[in-house]
Homo-oligomer: A and B are copies of this chain.
Amino acid sequence: MVNPDHLNVHVKRAEYAVRGAILLESEKIQREMNQDPSKYPFKKLIPCNIGNPQELLQKPIQYNRQVLSLVDCPDLIDKVGDSVPSDVVARAKDIVEAIGHPNRTGAYTNSKGYAFVREAVAQYIQERDGGVPASADDIFLTDGASPAVKAALQCFSGDPKVAFMIPLPQYPLYTATLAMLQMQAAPYYLNEENRWSLELSELERSYQEALREGKEVRGLCVINPGNPTGGVLSEKQILDVCLFAKKYNLLVLADEVYQANVYKVNPATGEREKFVSFKKVVGSYPELKGQPLISFHSTSKGITGECGRRGGYMECVNVHQDMMDMLLKLASVSLCSNVGGQLMMKLMLQGPKPGDASYDSWRRDCDGIFESMARRATMLVDGLNKIPGIRSQPIDGAMYAFASLDLPPGAIEAARARGMAPDAMWCMDLLRATGIIIVPGSGFGQRTGSFHFRTTILPPEDSMAEVVELISKFQRDFLAKYGGGKARL
């Protein structure tokens, strides 16, 4: 009998499409199919709505799992014999020693996380960034990246005029969290025609518009590699963004959870481009001295794909001590992030070394997953671009295509009659016809009058062609039903 009128309107209004209406409908379909397997014209659902590689049976990296398993149960360390490689046993012993005692492996850690894991994170960052210094004191280990983003934003809430700039399209964590915290979004649009690039003139336009609307802009969120867009920023673009932030005294929140998912090939060298971090740029250019930055990372993405472990970190660079104290207090109230996620983070960032017994198979596991993802990204884009009315930019990074949809006026009218966004109707009908679960562009934000959908590159290679074919057939039927041609509004 909780009175619904007493519920928080800000939470009520927040939207989170990645697990929204389409997913709820898919759960209903699954229940119906459990009763009557022939009720729908497909045998199983294909979840392409979320970057959840193991759901689609991507094999976990064995080295990580073996070490985690022995640390979870240190009594096994001396019992497994030859069933795991010698370096796995040595690594597990090292971790138990760092924790301090075999009985202590399930205790609360320090609120910021195990010191030895934070040191591993700092070491990884410093190597990644060509020697730009990193400190374990600046690292918080978190239950995935999402609660870290929320904590950072919460430090600024409490005044409804406060705004953060966010990209559109965006991962809806940002709009949902800002809404729930009674803060505002100041959106800037990415340029679809140019591989979803982030352009300085658009940042400037967005900032000035926010000022005109009376918003007080405190920071700028960037997602690189881009979710949902698949775009990847160059060092020059990152420098421009940071100089912009410095000019207006904005904190940069850099969501870099896809940093190990850059597939783009440099046309000049024929080699894959390297990920450039915001931290490296802030630490390398003297004109950015003191620029505050918080960067987020996760064990869920990359080639690790350990989503359910809820492992993450944030690195706080040039952040005022008062805010560091506040982040520590927020972490303390939740006591600590989970130890499995913390350990997975260490293992993800520090695998076996050449010469270790596990090294060759680990290298093979990692390279196999990465190369397969890169191939699937290309297969997906090429396939989508052959479908009438669908167009996808290249997937330079991350795990998604964010493809545009040309919807005929008849479809737009039909959606209006059904009380749905047109791309939501398209996704809902696709689900019912094919079992493919994807997310409409309206859940991520898009320019008015344009329509999109996001789908992951995660179906196994041998079923990607089938997924594309299912979408293609559905779209041909859809266009036949509603009449082809470009949507007009």
Contacts and interface: CB of A to CB of B under 8 A. Distances in A.
A156 B72 CA distance: 38
A335 B307 CA distance: 9
A7 B108 contact: no
A249 B320 contact: no
A155 interface: yes
Interface string A33-68: 000000000000000001011110111101001101
Contacts of A76: 66, 69, 80, 83-84
A59 B306 CA distance: 28
B10 A158 contact: yes
Contacts of A108: 50, 52, 55, 300, 307-308
Interface residues of A, number: 95
Contacts of A62: 73, 75
A103 interface: yes
A12 B321 CA distance: 12
A334 B9 contact: no
Given A11-B326, A11-B329, A52-B108, A103 B69 contact: no
Nearest to A103: B57
Contact of A143 (B2, B150, B322, B334): B334
A73 B79 contact: no
A103 B60 contact: yes
B144 A335 contact: yes
Contact of A182 (B7, B50, B158, B322): B158
A366 B383 CA distance: 58
A316 B16 CA distance: 22
B11 A306 contact: no
Q: How many copies, total?
A: 2
A107 B55 contact: yes
Nearest to A251: B2
B1 A318 contact: yes
A336 B54 CA distance: 14
B60 A105 contact: yes
Contact of A72 (B72, B107, B162, B323): B72
A341 interface: yes
A72 to B, nearest CB: 4
Nearest to A291: B1
A178 B358 CA distance: 49
A340 interface: yes
A479 interface: no
A220 interface: no
A47 to B, nearest CB: 10
B143 A143 contact: yes
Nearest to A15: B329
A368 interface: no
A447 to B, nearest CB: 25
Given A8-B154, A62-B75, A310-B336, 9 more contacts: A2-B251, A2-B319, A19-B111, A54-B106, A60-B105, A143-B334, A150-B334, A308-B338, A310-B339
7 contacts: A1-B292, A12-B326, A54-B104, A62-B73, A66-B73, A109-B308, A143-B338
